[in-house]
Structure 1
């Protein structure tokens, strides 16, 4: 059970909620804040004060006063009119994350919703009824309006949801779980949709999977390192301490641990004086990607606990502002794209070193019968294609802006596009690393499995249960997808082989 307070939610808790389907509840103190804030909204309505989003229209209609008898209709109209998302649905885990994040921001006590709204959101999370939300249609300011409107529809008993492995009508799922829909009252529709929870939820899932993929890249490349008889001196602690980047130092330490008892590694000068950069500079390149992940995690955890709707209701004032603007997460997601794309970029170059006979002493393309059988030749092509695609997806979404709402909302973040592309880059990068793993497993067989370190040998044996040795050309697409699924499956468990064996998780 994860207790939501509005200010203490962490990535680790989100792992529990998303990977283990942990239940959530609201702290008593946070619910008291919700109640107190709601009283202020009701006073505004009763006194017919002119306050944006409570007794006025939205966006360019902010100067249109809404009478007391129409405030509920205003909120309903807002949700149904803004539910115009298009395209494929967000992954179900993203939808679950959006419910949790939207609940958490309301528990800060600045949004002005009734406690029942928070309670219904928590009921959806705990019943695993997750809104079916189209991915496209958000500008990332005034928040993720279209995606969050599809989330809000579910509270009204409308739209569709993920339920027990299927997409069904909301009313069907609610009825089976004994959850009744509600009607929205003053401020509540706006409070539900004015925020950055779509881009942040997508970013949280991308980070969780990206963190595990970064660990996996170290283990996979360690097998490559053994296959190519890499020079272990490049991981010497003194070398990395001399530069000073913590992430680089940590990466080098993990490689020393992974390769500590390997018989396949070499010392400086034994075979070569220096390796190529894709081996020699692993700590520097991977370490820089870890710097990116560190930055992204920090920004996500701030936003996970942020008040991002508008207006915000304080003890002595109602203030309209722009906390819904997604620029901080837009930048973070564009940065994430670079860090993860680079893990794939250097991986593809290691694949080339494994398969190119001009760069190693292994059989050409790791073929069992060079010439008659192509071996891993075209797997490198596939990796190169994915890396090239990543380069186009890595173009920053945050540099673009198109005015909306009759130029009232004249600068937007495009952060949700950045988050979506970040997740796509992650999927591509996982496939590249799957290809490296297939090639590294084959190469280390030629080198001599008996010489592997104990950690890499255990990983070799696990992976060989997923993909067999290449004795004959076959449809390698099947192998790539099986290994990709294996790696993704490790990302979706709380304690992976890597965390338990190497990193003390």
Structure 2
């Protein structure tokens, strides 16, 4: 059980939450929640007109709502905003989305009661995940539709995936022994304003990217040995002179992976001067990608526990101030940079595969198979990698520079953060496939250098690849092996424990 202090969240904590750790807010957070709820009660009792508490929403903000209809206001808000479309968000994303909402509410500036926190924590405790359509948010005024679907399930509307069984929300709540939640003043707006859907999808993409990046580093090192390439470009002194932190780290990791390789030792004094850029410039390209991922991680770690609803309640001043923290531009930029980084990781990986299957470039048999002609070998897996890389390029147009006015022009600039985040998640899966194909190719290339052996870390990697994709003697059905290796990359089984 992780006891969460919303004001002390780290990337490692978020990684544990992504992996499904059980959670509860700490006592201090719950005290802040209670004080904030009391502040809202005082505002309502005082009769002041405050946006979102006793007014309409968006363009209807000037409509004062009488006290007797405040519960109806909140109920109608959730139902009217539950209008998403598309496939449901993955369960791990929905779970993280609920946790992020708890973190934001736990900062004590949203005005919700303890009952709301208990309802959300109740879903997590019983693995009851709201079914939330992926489409419908433009990433401003919060992720309104996705968060409304989350909130609606607490009220008995919509659908809940209860440990893998899809049930009507009311039936699922009954099985959980919970009554439908009746929202109080401000609570509906507190729950659906916020960037938690965009941030959860982006974090899911980030942690997938972390695993893909680690596997790509390992694959790149194995490809160097398959090519009998030079390790001199990974000399730490070169990268130190440039000073880019990602480059320094990548060069060091490649040097470590290749240290002790018998293949490297076998051509120590060969006359080959330079390798293709996709081999030689790995520290420079992969390092730049790593710096982008690290910056995205910093932004998303901050956003994960941010107060992003509206209005924001300041309990000590008995005030609720309307602002724009719900605008998800930081998340949109972070998600787009994850996509850009992964595009380059995949592009570099595919180029190394292309070099290895080309006998003119590699000095190895064409397409890394004996009896070529009758056998096509790794000819078409490289084409699949090329197709995935090109698809990634088409997804790399930044969603964060797009906007479309909504809500009768009241919301005249939006972030498109959820779209950017979903694209990043797709590119992560695609790039995992590209790296999987390189791993098959590099392992086959290293096989041709037997009895020379690669380094101990790369021998272990080679064995894991061979456990899913045996040495190629003659043409065979490829798709299942490639999919298994892609899944292993995404599961972190081939990343060597790499973390940002």
Pairwise TM-score range, normalised by the shorter structure: over 0.9
Distance 1:370 1:350 in 2: 21
1:446 equivalent among 445, 448, 453 = 448
CA deviation after TM superposition for structure 1 residue 268, in Å: 6.9
Determine if contact 1:232/1:268 at 8 Å carries over to the other structure: no
Residues 91-134 of structure 1, C-alpha deviation per residue, up to 9 Å, x if partnerless? Answer: 11100000000011001111000111011111111211111111
Determine if contact 1:367/1:373 at 8 Å carries over to the other structure: yes
Residues 18-62 of structure 1, C-alpha deviation per residue, up to 9 Å, x if partnerless? Answer: 21x221111111111111111111122223321000000000000
CA deviation after TM superposition for structure 1 residue 368, in Å: 2.7
- For structure 2, the residue ranges without an aligned partner over 5 or more in a row are none
SS for the counterpart of 1:358 is helix
Other-structure match for 2:147: 148
Other-structure match for 2:263: 264
CA shift in 2, pair 1:53/1:145, >3 Å: same
The equivalences for 1:410-429 within 5 A come to 410-429=412-431
Other-structure match for 1:208: 207
SS for the counterpart of 2:76 is helix
**TM-score, normalising length from structure 1?**
0.96
Other-structure match for 2:280: 280
Higher mean displacement: 263-272 or 86-95: 263-272
Q: Work out whether 1:17 is the aligned partner of 2:40.
A: no
- For structure 1, the residue ranges without an aligned partner over 5 or more in a row are none
CA deviation after TM superposition for structure 1 residue 447, in Å: 1.9
**TM-score, normalising length from structure 2?**
0.97
Other-structure match for 1:138: 137
CA deviation after TM superposition for structure 1 residue 173, in Å: 2.9
SS for the counterpart of 1:87 is strand
SS for the counterpart of 1:451 is coil
Distance 1:436 1:497 in 2: 14
Other-structure match for 1:59: 58
Q: Work out whether 1:48 is the aligned partner of 2:47.
A: yes
Other-structure match for 1:235: 234
CA deviation after TM superposition for structure 1 residue 222, in Å: 1.1
Distance 2:426 2:451 in 1: 34
The equivalences for 1:260-409 within 5 A come to 260-265=259-264, 270-314=270-314, 315-316=316-317, 317-409=319-411
CA deviation after TM superposition for structure 1 residue 9, in Å: 2.0
Residues 324-362 of structure 1, C-alpha deviation per residue, up to 9 Å, x if partnerless? Answer: 001111111111110011100000100100111121111
Higher mean displacement: 215-224 or 448-457: 448-457
SS for the counterpart of 1:359 is helix
CA deviation after TM superposition for structure 1 residue 75, in Å: 0.6
CA deviation after TM superposition for structure 1 residue 162, in Å: 2.3
Q: Work out whether 1:124 is the aligned partner of 2:126.
A: no
SS for the counterpart of 1:148 is helix
Higher mean displacement: 339-348 or 42-51: 42-51
Determine if contact 2:213/2:495 at 8 Å carries over to the other structure: no
SS for the counterpart of 1:318 is strand
- RMSD between aligned residues: 1.6
2:496 equivalent among 495, 498, 505 = 498
Distance 1:185 1:100 in 2: 21
